[in-house]
Amino acid sequence: MWQRLTLTGLFAVALLAGACTVDPRPDNPGGDQQAEQQVEAGVPQEYRAKALAHARDRQIDACGLHDPAAAEKATGDKGDELVPGSGGLHECDLRLHKGEFNSTWRFNVEAGALFDASSRKSAAPENLGGLDIFVTEHDTSCEIAKPIDDDYAVVIVANAPSGKDKPAKAPCQVLREYVTALAPTWKELPKRGSGRTTPEFTLTRLDPCSAAATAMDMFAEPFLETSNPVTCTARSMKPAPPQQRPKGVGRDEVTVTWVMDDDPSKLVRAGDDSAREVTIDGRKAVLNKGSNGCTTYIVWDPDVSVVADNRNPEDETLTQQIRVTTATCDNAEQIAQKIVAKVAGK
């Protein structure tokens, strides 16, 4: 059954009658994710601090950082869709519109974005609603970062509409208003499982490095490294030089990411052998051969889906998926089988 991601208690209207929903006062602010995070054994010492930070930030409810009602007030437009971002489940997009086929503002939140000392040099420090933040201004967009620690932050980017819908307010004026309204929520970042948003994305309870570790036996001197809260890569300490890779072959590594994506079966087309559908432990999966490697999309939980396009909810829905990238598709199915078995606890 499709639904919209909703902020519980804020919406009984069409926007979140079936997208993500947010409760402004969840009963359990900390959720069930307070246990100390562990780091997978394959992560070397130099990457363990990063892995710990990513484990911490994976428990931040990215969509719970939004407030569509506040965004409507700041922009004057109407809330349209609230959906996880394309980069993974640590991101969330809030899209607004003036009417059907007339999209306007988009606000993208990333929980656990890299924002270290070098990033802060090019941003202006400010205080909004009691939050110490950093602002970076652009012509048609604006970025505000709220540091979590010395190296990572919650980052929100406002992208303004252009053309005839170009707003009177500058992007940073709108985003400052929006973040000021969000300040009470951002002072204590909402956790997954707290009930602030529904549905819950259960993949985020798991460490992607635990899944990626199943591929370590493919490599000489293997190690694991996280690149964001929901992505982990297994590779060798001694990779082959890029010039030695044949055309169409990606890096000799295996990367696992928790995502929400649409039906991967759409990649399979008659007369085109670049994508094929398989079944892995009873789950739909599609292996897609690209110009620089292979990507396998595994539908983890088809029963929890989010509307990606309110105009066509029966067709444009997203499901929790495991995205696996490998050098080629030759052994991608076997790698995916091991990953699914690990994630399923088998």
- DSSP string for residues in 105-158: EEEEEEEEEE--HHHHHTSEEEEETTEEEEEEE-SSEEEEEEESSSSEEEEEEE
pLDDT of residue 3: 58
pLDDT of residue 166: 85
Mean pLDDT score across all residues of the chain? 88
What are the backbone angles phi and psi of residue 264, rounded to the nearest 5°? -65, -15
Q: Write the CA distances from 202 to 170, 173, 297, 317, integer angstroms.
A: 38, 36, 17, 17
Q: What is the pTM of this model?
A: 0.89
pLDDT classification of 18: cutoffs 50, 70, 90: very low
DSSP 8-class letter at 273: T
Residue carrying structure tokens 């609230």 = 82
Segment among 23-37, 127-141, 164-178, 283-297 with least mean pLDDT:
23-37
**CA 170 to chain CA centroid, nearest Å:** 27
Amino acid making up residue 124: A
**CA 284 to chain CA centroid, nearest Å:** 21
Res 15 pLDDT > 50: no
For residue 71, give the nearest of 190, 175, 210, 211 by alpha carbon. Answer: 175
Section 57-62 average pLDDT: 97
pLDDT classification of 34: cutoffs 50, 70, 90: very low
| Dihedral angle, C-alpha 134, 138, 141, 143, nearest 10 ° | -10
Segment among 128-137, 155-164, 327-336 with least mean pLDDT:
155-164
Helix (H, G, I), strand (E, B) or coil at 94: strand
pLDDT of residue 10: 41
Res 70 pLDDT > 50: yes
Q: What is the pLDDT of residues 225-278, one digit of tens each?
A: 999 999 999 999 987 776 666 676 888 999 999 999 999 999 999 989 999 999
